[in-house]
Structure 1
Amino acid sequence: MSASDAIVHVPLGERAYDIRIGHGLIERAGELIGAATPGAACAIVTDENLARTHLPALERSLEAAGIRHAQVVCPPGEATKCYRWFETVCDAIIGARMERGDVVVALGGGVIGDLAGFAAAVVRRGMRFVQIPTSLLAQVDSSVGGKTGINSPHGKNLVGAFHQPSLVLADVGVLDTLPEREFRAGYAEVAKYGLIDDPAFFAWLEENHRGVFAGGPERAHAIQTSCAAKAAVVVRDETEQGDRALLNLGHTFAHAFERLTHYDGARLVHGEAVAIGLVCAFRFSAALGLCSGQDAGRVEGHLRTVGLPTRIRGIPGWDGDAAAILDAMFQDKKVKRGALTFILARGIGQSFISRGVEPSSVREFLDAELARA
């Protein structure tokens, strides 16, 4: 272990694991995976971009540790989280003669992590799983907590399983190679943790976001704080029966926007949808009289300051109306007995679960949002 590594432990009994945060973790992955899963072989799932940039270093590390490994390379982008590529990944793992005690390694962002994790959950009725998240969004959100899955034509993440990893290796150094747009998109999930229940962290981000983007010690602090926040919620509610739903702040809106743009990453990536969704959640809360317009404005102002989109009409080529957005929302995983559930807020850091929100209130709000200049 490097003295500079930070470790966030996720205490889930026999499913407990560590999130290791530091520089150079891909180069040390063979040693770390070997220690966490002794004697296991590895099936690496990655995408075409990472196969060129970071896969060679991972394979050298596994070879140096004497770990047998195979690879399956997928196209980049949200469209890969589909039935076709799920089948391809599962068959590749089986074809590589990976056994139940072996490990599926996800080298990539949220798409690869969700896809590979779901394959690990079902191949041979469950294999071990290691996350090596390569995007900011994946490091602070999707790699932690065991949610895995693929999209359906009916909506996002509607087919999947809870399957905790054995280890998460968040190599901070790889973030330097991210396109600026992808890093910004991941920042929306960082801001979300402050907005849920940590107003001091949100205030810290308002003061220190330049350091987070520049890659200084502020970046590692933001990642560690975000991982610890998510881990604490997961430990309380592993399978989202209660307050884990708070982690979906902004996502009921975001998933609807993604569905209506057909998961086209050229128009809208997940973190951008979340940024607009966070603003909508606070503006909707203000419209319902739950929080102040000042708080909603503060959220919008900060996300705009870091370069994230904040309005529905800002989505390139947007042509959906309020009825279409509302229809997409009814496919959200939090819908219960046909009733909409939203994560709303009484203020920054004061989010709560609101069940049975009236569709007419949502429709009125969406009409007003779409009319904004």
Structure 2
Amino acid sequence: MVRVYQYNAEPINRPGSVDSVRSVSVAALEIRGPAYHYPALVGSNLLARLGDYTRKYLPRETCAVISDSNIAPLFADHVKRGLASADFQPTPITIPAGEKSKTLQQAAAICDQMIAAGLDRQSFVVGLGGGVIGDISGFVAAIYHRGIPHVQIPTTLLAMVDSSIGGKTGVNTSAGKNLIGAIHHPALVIDDVDVLKTLPRREFNQGFAEIIKHAIIADAEMFVGLKNVDLEDLAPLIRRNIEIKSKIVAKDERDRTGERALLNFGHTVGHAIERAGNYREFLHGEAISLGIVAACSVSMKKAGLPRDQRDAIVDLLQRFDLPARLPPNFQREKIFQALPYDKKFESGKIRFVVTPRIGSAHLSNEVTMEDIREAVDQL
């Protein structure tokens, strides 16, 4: 269940606050499931009131602010001051940027720093960054003192529309992505669209891979609208994507019925491409774009996806400069070596998400490795 309501944030002039801010309209999405409930705030200039928002939902005192070497120089001091202005005691922790930091070893190092700082079971974790930071900070929150609250402050479009919602946290192993993790829903998500202005174009564009995926599996109307999306007013698009994902998650939080698996459209091949490229050649969204193209090829064969709809999907991906073809010299065989380690395989069987038409998807057990190989060969 998702309920959206608006409220106005009034200007503040509290001694010691970061800055007085203008009155802004904030959309608060109330995300509910059978065993969880948390708000996602979407709007502009939200970091200026970070302390107030956090105090409203978390009456605690101490916290760790986990960020990476790219994001910390941009926002960490601002976040730290905002939390301190509401009488929180933040401990900043910075890790190297990139997927290579998403490991058990790095999670353990973060926990050690939190222990040294005196953080306890009454503390909480703030994840300030993109998907990697959201995943590892959420995982740390899930395991530290057997679980403490987690605040997500995503700084990428991809994290705002996808990874910050749903409670999946985790780290990678040498065998594959997110093979170790936990379901640990955030206590609060704060999507300040102003931070997106700092993103390089390539980093910004990769978020549209997940947005297009959501449109393919659940919202044909949004798919059409993406052809003329207003990049100066992204808040409505972010809210819509949060609604789509949170509704799917609420039906199948722990991926037992296959409903949540629909969110993996394009991810079976996409994750394998990421690993085959050693997490360096492609950004996550770029790999998912390629995975979506492969999934469309499989869907044409196994689910009757019309050719013109497949072409429309590819055209929309390319509109946002997302790849639809692998580089000629890419070692495709490494993709097939990575596939069996993906979480979408169960007891050696492939659980592959296909789409019969834009706006709909379902899980298929009839897709073979040969079908996937054929689709990858066409990339």
Normalising by the smaller structure, the TM-score range is over 0.9
The SS at the match of 1:259 is helix
Letter in 2 for 1:243: E
- Give, in whole Å, the separation in 1 of the partners of 2:32 and 2:111: 29
Of residues 237, 252, 255, the one that matches 2:252 is 237
Give 2:3's aligned residue: none
Shift in Å, 1:55 = 0.8
Letter in 2 for 1:85: Q
**Between 25-34 and 158-167, the greater mean CA deviation after superposition:** 25-34
**Between 170-179 and 26-35, the greater mean CA deviation after superposition:** 26-35
Give the count of matched residue pairs: 357
Quickly say closer, same or farther: Cα 1:261–1:77, change in 2 above 3 A. same
Of residues 202, 226, 229, the one that matches 2:241 is 226
Give 1:188's aligned residue: 209
Kindly provide the CA deviation profile for residues 129-149 of structure 1, in whole angstroms up to 9, marking residues without a partner as x: 100000000000000110000
Shift in Å, 1:289 = 5.4
Give 2:64's aligned residue: 43
Structure with greater strand percent: 2
The SS at the match of 2:346 is coil
Matches within 5 A, 1:53-202: 53-202=74-223
Letter in 2 for 1:263: Y
Give 1:31's aligned residue: 52
Of residues 331, 348, 365, the one that matches 1:355 is 365
The SS at the match of 1:59 is helix
- Give, in whole Å, the separation in 2 of the partners of 1:350 and 1:13: 24
- Give, in whole Å, the separation in 2 of the partners of 1:320 and 1:362: 12
- Give, in whole Å, the separation in 1 of the partners of 2:295 and 2:371: 13
Give 1:305's aligned residue: 319
The answer to whether the aligner puts 1:346 opposite 2:346 as a matched pair is no
- Give, in whole Å, the separation in 1 of the partners of 2:321 and 2:202: 9
Shift in Å, 1:66 = 0.8
Quickly say closer, same or farther: Cα 1:268–1:309, change in 2 above 3 A. same
Give 2:15's aligned residue: none
Counterpart contact for 1:250–1:278, Cα < 8 Å = yes
- Give, in whole Å, the separation in 1 of the partners of 2:40 and 2:89: 23
Counterpart contact for 1:94–1:123, Cα < 8 Å = no
Of residues 279, 282, 291, the one that matches 2:293 is 279
Shift in Å, 1:111 = 0.4
Quickly say closer, same or farther: Cα 1:146–1:333, change in 2 above 3 A. same
Give 2:340's aligned residue: 330
Kindly provide the CA deviation profile for residues 225-264 of structure 1, in whole angstroms up to 9, marking residues without a partner as x: 0011111111111111121111111000100000101111
Counterpart contact for 2:302–2:367, Cα < 8 Å = no
Letter in 2 for 1:45: I
Give 2:265's aligned residue: 249
Counterpart contact for 1:19–1:168, Cα < 8 Å = yes
Identity %, equivalent residues: 38
Q: Root-mean-square deviation (CA), in Å? A: 1.4
- Give, in whole Å, the separation in 2 of the partners of 1:234 and 1:186: 19
**Between 282-291 and 164-173, the greater mean CA deviation after superposition:** 282-291
The SS at the match of 2:92 is strand
The SS at the match of 1:42 is strand
Quickly say closer, same or farther: Cα 1:13–1:66, change in 2 above 3 A. farther
- Give, in whole Å, the separation in 1 of the partners of 2:179 and 2:52: 35
Shift in Å, 1:202 = 0.5
Give 4+ residue runs of structure 1 displaced > 3 Å after superposition: none
Structure with greater helix percent: 1
Kindly provide the CA deviation profile for residues 34-62 of structure 1, in whole angstroms up to 9, marking residues without a partner as x: 11111331111001122111111111111
The SS at the match of 1:195 is helix
Shift in Å, 1:83 = 2.1
Counterpart contact for 2:332–2:376, Cα < 8 Å = no
Letter in 2 for 1:153: S
Quickly say closer, same or farther: Cα 1:51–1:332, change in 2 above 3 A. same
- Give, in whole Å, the separation in 2 of the partners of 1:159 and 1:351: 27
The SS at the match of 1:346 is strand
- Give, in whole Å, the separation in 2 of the partners of 1:283 and 1:92: 47
Give 2:17's aligned residue: none
Shift in Å, 1:28 = 1.1
- Give, in whole Å, the separation in 2 of the partners of 1:167 and 1:325: 36
Of residues 267, 275, 281, the one that matches 1:259 is 275
Shift in Å, 1:71 = 1.3
- Give, in whole Å, the separation in 2 of the partners of 1:289 and 1:340: 15
The SS at the match of 2:42 is strand
